[in-house]
């Protein structure tokens, strides 16, 4: 089995309130080395057998049309990986 | 005269919207997300709630529902469509309205009686209000922060697409205090606050006169019922 991994992040210029909340939690635990936390999403699409160019093409379309909203998010990575047996 | 309300898995305020339409003198028609049938309605409401548990993005999965192809078609042909809260999120996800809605800037869910200014009365949903009129209706959401890039914001302001603006306080960090928008044609309107929860004395926001007596949301439904009757 193989997997297509799609990663989506909130746009850089936009406020990420969830990330900001986590940064606040770090500060409350006296952890101060980090300037910013941003939270994105990772989608794993599992494929029986090998990932084909057709799978990747569908994944790219899906990433743009359903899995992300281009107004607020960017698709930062689409790649395939062999799953460990 | 017939106004449909689409129920999605996770809709909460569909029955309130149906009731608001009845109180406004319209015929309320319940519609189902999985159908491809608008049952001959003259106008549509996409109600509030948490369709699909807000998974993926608020309104994103519902925006790809079977009935949404008919909704988008009808909207593009000029049918009045109102999206409330989760329904507004569906309208931006389906591209019928510009911009996007993200988590409130303070990170908290907010539930309050909210003052809005009606900035545009040239829509079938707001024709019964006065331009600049302030109304109070409930607001209840966790992801109501309206955002758009600078170019889109300029277009929104330039074409007078802002239909409702938060007044007195901006509850969620929405850019330009935007609470609700219309499309260029004016038939599609979306807003985060809930007009259907301010339609009946005893169940609305508090007013200076009496507790829970606010009914300033009713005009939105009366406007569309009137506009459809007069066509």
Phi, psi of B83 (to 5 degrees): -110, 125
Taking CB atoms and an 8 Å cut-off, how many pairs form between chains A and B?
37
Local confidence band at B231 (pLDDT 50, 70, 90 cut-offs) = very low
Contacts of B178 in chain A (CB under 8 A): none
Q: Phi, psi at residue B7, to the nearest 5°? A: -95, 125
Q: What is the CA radius of gyration of chain A?
A: 16
Q: What pLDDT shows up at residue B228?
A: 59
Q: Is B12 in the A-facing interface, judged by CB distances under 8 Å?
A: no
Reported ipTM exceeds the 0.90 cut: no
CB atoms within 10 A of CB B220: 32
A21 contacts chain B (CB < 8 A)? yes
User: Residue B78 CA to chain centroid, in angstroms?
Assistant: 17
Share of chain B above pLDDT 70, in %: 98
Q: What is the pLDDT of residues B21-70, one digit of tens each?
A: 999 999 999 999 999 999 999 999 999 999 999 999 999 999 999 999 99
Separation of alpha carbons B74 and B69, rounded Å: 9
Write out residues 47-66 of A within 8 Å (CB-CB) of B: 66
Token pair belonging to A57: 């093409």
For residue range B140-149, list pLDDT tens digits in order. 999 999 999 9
Q: Which residue of B has its CA nearest to A42?
A: B56
Q: A48 vs chain B: nearest CA distance in angstroms? A: 24
Active-site positions of B read 85, 194, 196
Distance (Å, whole) CA B200 – CA B210: 13
The nearest alpha carbon in chain A to B61 belongs to: A66
Q: What is the mean pLDDT of residues B162-174?
A: 97
Q: Which two tokens stand for residue B31?
A: 């519609």
Least confidently predicted of A13-17, B9-13, B136-140, B147-151 = A13-17
Chain B nearest-CA distance from A73, in A, is 10
Residues of A in Cβ contact (< 8 Å) with B89: none
- The encoded tokens of residue B173 equal 């960090």
Task: Name the nearest CA neighbour of B51 among B90, B18, B97, B108.
Answer: B90
pLDDT > 70? residue B229 = no
B56 touches chain A (CB under 8 A): yes
What tens digit of pLDDT does each residue of A29-81 get? 999 999 999 999 999 999 999 999 999 999 999 999 999 999 999 999 999 99
State whether residue B103 sits within 8 Å of chain A by CB: yes
Q: Could you give the residue ranges of the DSSP H alpha helices within chain B?
A: 14-23, 66-76, 86-93, 150-158, 218-229
Q: How far is B102 from chain A (nearest CA, A)?
A: 8
CA distance A41 to A72: 13
d(CA A81, CA B16): 48
Select from B161, B14, B176, B164 the least CA-distant residue to B87: B14
Three-class SS of residue B140? strand
Q: Quick check: A72 and B147 CB within 8 A?
A: yes
């Amino acid at each position: 089995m193989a997997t297509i991994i799609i990663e989506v992040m909130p746009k850089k210029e936009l406020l990420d309130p969830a990330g900001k909340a986590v940064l606040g939690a770090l500060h409350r635990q006296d952890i101060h080395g980090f300037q910013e936390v941003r939270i994105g999403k990772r989608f794993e699409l599992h494929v029986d057998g090998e990932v084909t160019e057709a799978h990747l093409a569908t994944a790219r379309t899906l990433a743009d049309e359903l899995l992300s909203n281009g107004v607020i998010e960017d698709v930062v990575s689409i790649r395939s990986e062999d799953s460990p047996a | 005269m017939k106004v449909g309300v689409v129920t999605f898995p996770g809709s909460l305020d569909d029955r309130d919207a149906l009731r608001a339409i009845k109180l406004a003198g319209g015929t309320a028609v319940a519609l189902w997300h999985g159908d491809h049938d608008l049952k001959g309605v003259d106008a549509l409401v996409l109600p509030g709630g948490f369709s699909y548990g807000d998974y993926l993005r608020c309104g994103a999965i519902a925006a790809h529902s079977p009935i949404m192809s008919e909704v988008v078609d009808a909207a593009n042909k000029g049918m009045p469509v109102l999206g409330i809260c989760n329904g507004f999120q569906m309208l931006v996800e389906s591209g019928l309205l510009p911009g996007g809605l993200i988590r409130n800037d303070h990170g908290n869910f907010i539930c309050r009686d909210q003052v809005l200014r009606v900035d545009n009365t040239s829509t079938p949903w707001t024709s019964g209000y006065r331009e600049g009129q302030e109304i109070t209706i409930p607001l209840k959401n966790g992801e109501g922060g309206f955002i758009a890039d600078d170019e889109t914001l300029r277009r929104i302001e330039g074409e007078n697409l802002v239909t409702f603006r938060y007044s007195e306080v901006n509850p969620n960090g929405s850019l330009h205090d935007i609470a609700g928008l219309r499309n260029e044609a004016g038939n599609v309107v979306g807003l985060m606050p809930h007009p259907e929860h301010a339609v009946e004395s005893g169940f609305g926001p508090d007013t200076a006169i009496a507790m829970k007596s606010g009914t300033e949301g009713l005009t939105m439904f009366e406007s569309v019922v009137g506009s459809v009757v007069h066509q």
